[in-house]
Structure 1
Amino acid sequence: MHFASDNTGPVPAEVLEALARANEGYMMPYGADPLMEGVKAKIREVFEAPEAAVYLVATGTGANALALATLADPWQAIFCHRVAHVEEDECGAPEFYTGGAKLTLVDGAGAKIDPAALETAIAETGTKGVHGVQRGPLTITQATELGTVYTPDEIATLTGIARAHGMACHLDGARFANALVTLGCSPAEMTWKAGIDAVSFGGTKNGLMGVEAVIFFDPARAWEFELRRKRGAQLFSKHRYLSAQMAAYLENDLWLRNAVAANESASRLAEGLRAIPDAEVLYPVEANMIFAGWPRAGHRRAQEAGAQYYLWPFDQPLDGPGDEILTARLVCDWSASLESTDRFLSLVRG
């Protein structure tokens, strides 16, 4: 009953086997390994982008911060949702790696940027000459921090607004695969065809040991990113161990199969919660994340039996009246079993 996050789960056997194979003999360092050439070719094929520049880093924070640093100058604003991952969970890394670019927070229901709010935020930025920050890139979290998903049309609307003001567009895809299988579209349709310039293509939250890809659809940005990756301590010496993970992830659609499994587990969990009296699912379940509330007594039963998940917000006490509603975040990973889901639901139900 592990629903704390999708980075708590195990690594698929296919990935561990690929790492064992990569461990044999010698390979050149810093991304010059032959495995990386295959990764580049496969990502370009998957995204229908033969000229794309493709790089690997170890963390999602590194991917987002370095990509945004490549797209933004220190004196610019980066436009993101008020509860975007880059705002809530990266300890100021985007500001640090950009050399001081300002995150400008934009509202919108369900953690999705409202187009009118984005227009207003852009209009209010860059109007003070040398005394104010200038307009910089837009970044979109997909899937969002509340588990909702932007459609390609919604992305295109936002990027269209940004492009009208000469702004670049980044997509934080830590849960890229989960959003993609929900939408049933192609990676190209969710990215460059919808106006995205750079993508953080997540792996860690979808089963990998620790690797993310950064993709620039305009290869002219590649050299600056390479320099920033090295300067930012994200250029791995024994790079083959990153390449091996990503190669296994892409082979035989493991990345899509993992996302389907995680999303299906989340759907089953959400359906079960909706059937429990006094329980409520708070946002649409469009990927592998659920935000829900149910009586404190159910939380106590689940947590005393070993269930792991976060109360959301964190500061809700487990001590108190049993019928009081406490809210929580639950995230399903690729390995979540039907048995553990059903056991959790029985404990909540009592």
Structure 2
Amino acid sequence: MFFASDNAGIAHPAIMEALTRANTGYAMPYGADAIMDEVRAQIRDIFEAPEAAVYLVATGTAANSLALATYCQPYQTVFCSPVAHIHEDECNAPEFYSGGAKLTLVGDAPKMTPEALKAAIEGEETRGVHGPQRGPLSITQVTERGTVYSVAEIKALSEIAKSYGLPVHLDGARFANALEALGCTPAEMTWKSGVDVVSFGGTKNGCMGVEAVIFFDPEKAWEFELRRKRGAHLFSKHRYLSAQMQAYLQDDLWRDNARKANANCARLTAGLRDAGVTFLHDPQANIIFCAFPRASHQRLHDAGALYYVWSGSLEGDDPDELLEARLVCDWSISDEEIDRFIDLVKPA
């Protein structure tokens, strides 16, 4: 019963088979391998973006940080949600790779609103040389609280950013989960909605370790290449990144895995609702934030369940006190694990 993170599940067998196939003979290094040529064509086709510049890195932190650094000067600020992945989970890497650019947190909710974004943008460039200058907008999709921006919401935020001449970055570590939740196309969720660059995640959705960075306007491509190399994220044996991404895209594996993860989350959500669990946010993809009694948490931990207790302590005198939990489903969790978890949550 592992619900701690979709980072922790196994790599899909098709990914491992692709790595084995790639592990023969010789291949040109640094992204000049033949598999990468196919990956570029696949991604351009999927995103309906024939001119897009496509690059691979091994981690989401590198993808987000290098992409943002390409669009952000050291004296600028990145506008993002208070629970954006780049703020909560990346140890100031965007600030580091951009040479010191700061983050401006927009609003007080998991999803930004156009009104809050406009106010945050207007609040900068008010002190001349003494304050940060306006920089990119970064949208986390799926949000770190398990909610999803609609296509209309992304468009509305992008329109605000573009009205100030600011570029838009989409952190798509769970891109496929959001896409399946919305039922739209990759193009509709990105460049057709005003997104300039996207981190297209693979690691959380069945890959061993690979993320794509996609620039819909190739003007920034060369700068990104330089930053990737200077930042020590250009793989020499790049074919092992390429092979993962090729298999991930082949026959819509990326979408199939996301459908499974989202379906697993829906099954878990339904069971928890029946058990009377309180939800902190409406689960829309593969992440749940909820609260249930300490006694249930203790039963689950005694049975070996792994997940994050988000607030409160397992130790305490009141068995009925509600403790918050974060539960994340990946594609490989079985129905049996989900149902056993639900049974243990129910009052004894």
TM-score bin (small chain): over 0.9
Q: How does 1:309-324 map to 2 (within 5 A)?
A: 309-313=307-311, 316-324=313-321
How far apart, in 2, do the equivalents of 1:180 and 1:273 lie? 24
How far apart, in 2, do the equivalents of 1:55 and 1:215 lie? 7
1:129 corresponding residue in structure 2: 128
Which amino acid letter does the alignment assign opposite residue 287 of structure 2?
Answer: M
Give SS of 1:312's match.
strand
Alignment RMSD (CA, Å): 0.8
> How much identity, in percent, do the aligned residues show?
63
Q: How does 1:193-204 map to 2 (within 5 A)?
A: 193-204=192-203
Which amino acid letter does the alignment assign opposite residue 60 of structure 1?
Answer: G
How far apart, in 2, do the equivalents of 1:337 and 1:32 lie? 39
Would the aligned equivalents of 2:287 and 2:326 in 1 still touch at CA under 8 Å? yes
Cα offsets for 1:233-269 (capped at 9, x unmatched): 1000000000000000000000000000000000110
Give SS of 2:213's match.
strand
Would the aligned equivalents of 1:270 and 1:285 in 2 still touch at CA under 8 Å? yes
Give SS of 2:198's match.
strand
How far apart, in 1, do the equivalents of 2:320 and 2:214 lie? 48
Would the aligned equivalents of 2:297 and 2:314 in 1 still touch at CA under 8 Å? no
Which amino acid letter does the alignment assign opposite residue 51 of structure 2?
Answer: E
Which amino acid letter does the alignment assign opposite residue 320 of structure 1?
Answer: D
Would the aligned equivalents of 1:27 and 1:33 in 2 still touch at CA under 8 Å? yes
Q: Quick check: 1:189 aligned with 2:188? A: yes
Q: How does 1:1-350 map to 2 (within 5 A)?
A: 1-109=1-109, 111-277=110-276, 279-313=277-311, 316-349=313-346, 350=348
Following TM superposition, the consecutive aligned residue runs of length 4 or more in structure 1 with deviations greater than 4 angstroms are none
Cα offsets for 1:150-207 (capped at 9, x unmatched): 0111000000000000000000000000000000000000000000000000000001
C-alpha displacement at 1:93, in angstroms? 0.2
How far apart, in 2, do the equivalents of 1:293 and 1:276 lie? 11
C-alpha displacement at 1:341, in angstroms? 0.2
Runs of 5+ consecutive residues of structure 1 not aligned to the other structure: none
Which amino acid letter does the alignment assign opposite residue 21 of structure 2?
Answer: R
How far apart, in 1, do the equivalents of 2:202 and 2:177 lie? 11
Would the aligned equivalents of 2:279 and 2:289 in 1 still touch at CA under 8 Å? yes
How far apart, in 2, do the equivalents of 1:319 and 1:11 lie? 38
Give SS of 1:140's match.
strand
C-alpha displacement at 1:320, in angstroms? 2.8
C-alpha displacement at 1:115, in angstroms? 1.2
Which amino acid letter does the alignment assign opposite residue 229 of structure 1?
Answer: R
How far apart, in 1, do the equivalents of 2:314 and 2:133 lie? 43
C-alpha displacement at 1:130, in angstroms? 1.1
C-alpha displacement at 1:317, in angstroms? 3.4
How far apart, in 1, do the equivalents of 2:316 and 2:206 lie? 35
C-alpha displacement at 1:108, in angstroms? 4.6
Which amino acid letter does the alignment assign opposite residue 24 of structure 2?
Answer: E
Give SS of 1:42's match.
helix
Runs of 5+ consecutive residues of structure 2 not aligned to the other structure: none
How far apart, in 2, do the equivalents of 1:187 and 1:142 lie? 12
Cα offsets for 1:297-320 (capped at 9, x unmatched): 00000111000000113x523333
Would the aligned equivalents of 1:6 and 1:333 in 2 still touch at CA under 8 Å? yes
Would the aligned equivalents of 2:70 and 2:223 in 1 still touch at CA under 8 Å? yes
TM-score, length of structure 2 as denominator length: 0.99
TM-score, length of structure 1 as denominator length: 0.98
How far apart, in 2, do the equivalents of 1:201 and 1:89 lie? 17
How far apart, in 2, do the equivalents of 1:267 and 1:336 lie? 12
Give SS of 1:41's match.
helix
Which amino acid letter does the alignment assign opposite residue 42 of structure 1?
Answer: Q
How far apart, in 1, do the equivalents of 2:316 and 2:90 lie? 31
Would the aligned equivalents of 1:273 and 1:281 in 2 still touch at CA under 8 Å? no
